[in-house]
Homo-oligomer: A and B are copies of this chain.
Amino acid sequence: MINKRVADADEAIRDIIDGQTIMLGGFGLCGIPEKCIAALVKKGVKELTCISNNAGVDDFGIGLLLKTRQVKKMVSSYVGENAEFERQLLSGELEVELIPQGTLATRCMAAGYGMPVIYTPAGVGTEVAEGKEVRNFNGKDYLMEYAFDADFAIVKAWKGDTAGNLVFRSTSRNFNPVMAMAGKITIAEVEELVEPGELDPDHIHTPGVYVHRIFQGSDYEKRIEQRTVRPRN
């Protein structure tokens, strides 16, 4: 097997430079690459275009990169819950491209599956369709949407092996497997890194061929955005 292991987040993101486009996995704060985000803040790389479903909260997730003004543009489906984000957006410091969540996911998959474009009905007849090709198949209109072209994809998995194979846990899977397929270089941080052969080949969500660098993070905070519970009785 090919060994993809790197020492830590700093080494994993070492060659990300100003102005690049990076994808970051996660839905809300669930399944986000905490360690790589911290390393990006530490490295101070700027003018980033971030493709991620959400933009974090003020003091966690991509919100940390917004606070330090490292993000030039966000490509997301939903960006609420972030006051600093709102301030930068309204002041014109931050550019935002909002795209439907399914389109976001499918444009990642298209990149990973070598499909230059995909067709989706999402957004037909709305401002999302402006400037895009509309084509009718079987009586229904679809928009042509391009595969993403990202310099790096950064994902978070539950377990991984040094060959780059990844296994996700519960709904922290979300965008992570499709983004893992879509980066020119894909970086994975995992809660537990094991040797090849320890993961069941039938249970691997992302085959190692898609992953270029992998490391084990520690002390994951895994913050909860909306803590909802029911009473015991």
Contacts and interface: CB of A to CB of B under 8 A. Distances in A.
Interface of A: 106, 113-120, 137-138, 140, 142, 167-170, 173, 201-203
A202 B168 contact: yes
B119 A113 contact: no
Contacts of A169: 202
A168 B170 CA distance: 19
Given A116-B119, A116-B137, 13 more contacts: A106-B113, A106-B115, A115-B119, A115-B120, A116-B138, A116-B142, A118-B118, A167-B202, A168-B202, A169-B202, A170-B201, A170-B202, A202-B203
Q: 3 tightest A-B contacts by CB? A: A116-B137, A203-B203, A115-B118
A114 B117 CA distance: 14
Contacts of A168: 202
A167 B173 CA distance: 18
A73 to B, nearest CB: 22
A68 B117 CA distance: 43
22 contacts: A106-B113, A106-B115, A114-B120, A115-B118, A115-B119, A115-B120, A116-B119, A116-B137, A116-B138, A116-B140, A116-B142, A117-B119, A117-B137, A118-B118, A167-B202, A168-B202, A169-B202, A170-B201, A170-B202, A173-B202, A202-B203, A203-B203
